[in-house]
Amino acid sequence: MASSADNTAGQDDAISVAKMCYQAYVDKDRALIERLIADDFHFTSPLDNRIDRKVYFERCWPNSANTADFKFIHLVQQGERVFVTYEGGNTGGNSFRNTEILTVRHGKLVDAEVYFGWSLPHAAPAGGFTKAGA
């Protein structure tokens, strides 16, 4: 997999770049993700507002230590953007579901928007809701 990242992937290979970024978290491969993330990268989530590459590596990369796996539910490319919904697992045995919009340009991740989902299993029963949603 690392050899794929050594070659700059084109826009048509945005899904491959996205998958390699997630796999870098699972493999704890900092060298790989550093090659995949552009110098002008920005990251936004409910907790982070357009942080730059340096802050991303300080704040987010340490989460790789607890990342066990990703199961892709949806991977859809539209131009230079990849819409990803995944179920992630951590080393503590907890699972969660998130959606992200990744922008890949010239084989590099330039922007990530993260939308937090829910814990797995879902706290609400099928067809129901939690008290907070009432």
The model's pLDDT over 68-113, given as tens digits with 9 standing for 90+, comes to 999 999 999 999 999 999 999 999 999 999 999 999 999 999 999 9
Averaged pLDDT for residues 2-30: 76
DSSP letter assigned to residue 124: S
pLDDT of the residue at 87: 98
pLDDT of the residue at 109: 98
pLDDT of the residue at 91: 96
The model's pLDDT over 47-67, given as tens digits with 9 standing for 90+, comes to 999 999 999 999 999 999 999
Name, in order, each residue with C-beta under 8 angstroms of 49's C-beta and a sequence gap of 6 or more: none
What DSSP assignment string belongs to 64-96?
GGGEEEEEEEEEEEETTEEEEEEEEEETTS-EE
Instruction: Measure the CA–CA gap between 110 and 79, rounded to whole angstroms.
Output: 14
Residue ranges and CATH numbers for the domains of the chain are: 9-121 (3.10.450.50)
